[in-house]
């Protein structure tokens, strides 16, 4: 099982929207059963990223995340399924 982590500042707003839209993209790719999506705030994201294959995050927060082993992808428009899909798909290597 792969894991994707969506990150925002507080863990209650933007990361949930990004999680929701990422799940939609995965459903469209037929990958929703193979891949778990979890939301986290920036304070817990570093720890949570240890078990995640991919981290989706905004430009403003990527520096605060620091170095993690996961593939980090910056998303500009959290509502754009096209942007999420085009950036995520090459990393899924199914």
Residues at the site binding another protein, with contacts judged by CB under 8 A: 8-14, 16-18, 20-21, 41-42, 58-61, 64, 76-81
Q: How far is the CB of 50 from another protein (least distance, A)?
A: 20
Report the C-alpha gap between 77 and 7 in whole angstroms. 14
Q: Is the dihedral of CA 87, 91, 93, 94 positive or negative?
A: negative
Six token digits for residue 77: 């428009």
Q: How far is the CB of 32 from another protein (least distance, A)?
A: 14
Q: Which is nearer to another protein, 76 or 94 (CB)?
A: 76
- The CA-atom distances, in angstroms, between 40 and each of 17, 86, 94 are 12, 22, 25
Q: Rounded to 5 degrees, what are φ and ψ at 66?
A: 75, -160
Q: How far is the CB of 59 from another protein (least distance, A)?
A: 6
Q: Which is nearer to another protein, 35 or 94 (CB)?
A: 35
Q: Which is nearer to another protein, 78 or 94 (CB)?
A: 78
């Amino acid at each position: 099982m792969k894991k994707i982590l969506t990150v925002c500042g507080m863990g209650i707003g933007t990361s949930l929207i990004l999680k929701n839209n990422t799940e939609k993209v995965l459903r469209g790719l037929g990958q929703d059963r193979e891949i778990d999506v979890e939301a986290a705030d920036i304070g817990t994201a570093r720890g949570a990223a240890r078990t995640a294959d991919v981290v989706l995050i905004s430009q403003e927060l990527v520096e605060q995340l620091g170095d993690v082993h996961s593939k980090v992808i910056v998303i500009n428009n959290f509502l754009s399924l096209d942007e999420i899909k085009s950036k995520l798909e090459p990393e899924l290597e199914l």
